[in-house]
Amino acid sequence: MVLLLLPSLGGCQSVSTSTPATSPTTDPATGITFGILSTESAEIQKPLWDPLLAAMATAIDQPVQGFYADQYSDLVAGLRSGEVQVAWLGGKAYIEAAQVAGTEAFAITVATDGAKGYTAHLIARNDQPWLAEAQAVGGDRYVLDHAAELTFAFNDPTSTSGFLVPNYYIFTRNGVKASDIFKAVRFEGDHEATALAVASGSVDVATNNSEALDRLAKSHPDAFSQLATLWISTLIPGDPIAYSSTLEEPVKEAVRTFFYQYKDEAVLTPLDWSGFEPATDDLWDPIRVLDLSQRLEEVSNNNQIEAAEKAKIIGELQQQLDLLNAKDKS
């Protein structure tokens, strides 16, 4: 199956079902809580986000406070409970939030170079004695062949580039589980943590992404200088900005207008963005396809599931996958 990770904007709505968040609207007195993806520590993210949130508050005439998630799942839970009304999410976290909380994407982040996507990476220290060989044969191939000698770190199970993409393309498609083949596997929580774990030598290989590594070069230049890239994925759709479906339409319109029109380089450049463009839910259908494909292969390779139950699960997953693939062809 060929998975095209970056479709054009626009198109149909998602086939997934959703349950709206429980909070029906915002209170102008308390305003909006804006959820922020845990790519780095809150200490690093807060100074970067505060100016944008302040500008948003002025534009929509409501207070806006940041919610710096410790884990990706915290954002999904916040959107589901109604504690978070608007959020910057990764693709995988977004498709989960859309399914369980009725979250709606309305914008995509645009990088400073104009890109509307990014790439997943595998990284290692640049002084590893095996680095040249790994880069020569292909980092993903080397990691698979020498996994028993290596320690490995993912970011977060709900991360697109820190888990879903590398896990599918490197491990699931090759019929293996990372937890079964490496000397040790752990989840570090965010991209900053995985990079610092590699730089410090506490883990041999870890996932990361192009945007997070660009930020690391600014926030931790010494650590960044010790890293090398082993593998780069194909382009992944950029991050969605999304809101709760239960927000009142005037609030949604004000939020959309702010993001579509906001161009302050002094605020956006430190976030590695040039702005935001309109987007619809189906832009992240390739992430849904990838997620379903991974689950399908995992179930197919799981000998612990009884044949009848396995056939039922595979049928349900394949039906969802067929619907998404049919949308892509329409």
- Secondary structure class of 4 (helix, strand, coil): coil
Among 246, 263, 279, the domain boundary falls at 279
Lowest mean pLDDT among 56-60, 305-309, 325-329: 325-329
pLDDT at residue 124 in the model: 99
Q: What's 170-227 look like in SS3? A: HHHHHCCCHHHHCCEEEECCCHHHHHHHHHHCCCCEEEEEHHHHHHHHHHCHHHHCCE
**103 and 148 inside one domain:** no
Residue 24 located in a structural domain:
no
**109 and 245 inside one domain:** yes
Q: pLDDT per residue over 186-213, tens digit each?
A: 999 999 999 999 999 999 999 999 999 9
Sign of torsion over alpha carbons 264, 9, 168, 113: negative
**Cα-atom radius of gyration of the chain, to the nearest Å?**
20
Q: How high does pLDDT run on average in the chain?
A: 89
**52 and 88 inside one domain:** yes
Cβ atoms of 37 and 120 within 8 Å: the answer is: no
pLDDT reading at 143 higher than 50: yes
The Cα 239–Cα 278 span in angstroms is 12
**108 and 242 inside one domain:** yes
**177 and 314 inside one domain:** no
Residue 22 located in a structural domain:
no
**318 and 212 inside one domain:** no
DSSP 8-state assignment for residue 6: -
State pTM to two decimals. Answer: 0.77
- Secondary structure class of 34 (helix, strand, coil): strand
The Cα 327–Cα 61 span in angstroms is 39
Cβ atoms of 209 and 120 within 8 Å: the answer is: yes
**127 and 188 inside one domain:** yes
Residue 185 sits at φ, ψ, to 5 deg, of -130, 135
**104 and 252 inside one domain:** yes
pLDDT reading at 17 higher than 60: no
**126 and 193 inside one domain:** yes
Q: pLDDT per residue over 167-187, tens digit each?
A: 999 998 898 999 999 999 999
CA of residue 64 relative to chain centroid, distance: 23
**245 and 319 inside one domain:** no
**161 and 96 inside one domain:** no
Nearest of 263, 139, 265, 260 to residue 206 by alpha carbon: 139
pLDDT at residue 10 in the model: 32
**Which residues contact residue 27 at a Cβ distance below 8 angstroms, ignoring those fewer than 6 apart?**
none
Q: pLDDT per residue over 45-61, tens digit each?
A: 999 999 999 999 999 99
Domains of the chain: total: 3
The Cα 87–Cα 77 span in angstroms is 12
DSSP 8-state assignment for residue 161: I
β 227-232/32-36 pair status = unpaired
What is the DSSP secondary-structure string of 232-271?
A: E-S-EEPPEEEE-TTS-HHHHHHHHHHHHH---HHHHGGG
Instruction: Tell me which residue range forms the domain holding 225.
Output: 117-232
pLDDT at residue 28 in the model: 54
pLDDT at residue 21 in the model: 41
Cβ atoms of 123 and 198 within 8 Å: the answer is: yes
**176 and 227 inside one domain:** yes
pLDDT reading at 119 higher than 80: yes
Q: pLDDT per residue over 90-104, tens digit each?
A: 999 999 999 999 999
Q: Residue 166 maps to which CATH number?
A: 3.40.190.10
Residue 171 located in a structural domain:
yes
**Which residues contact residue 4 at a Cβ distance below 8 angstroms, ignoring those fewer than 6 apart?**
286, 328
Residue 20 located in a structural domain:
no
CA-angle at 122, arms to 121 and 128, nearest 5° = 140
Which of the four pLDDT bands, split at 50, 70 and 90, describes residue 7?
very low
Q: pLDDT per residue over 235-251, tens digit each?
A: 999 999 999 999 999 99
Q: What is the number of residues in the chain?
A: 330
Residue 108 located in a structural domain:
yes
Residue 310 located in a structural domain:
yes
Residue 16 located in a structural domain:
no
Strand partners, 151: 184
Residue 2 located in a structural domain:
no
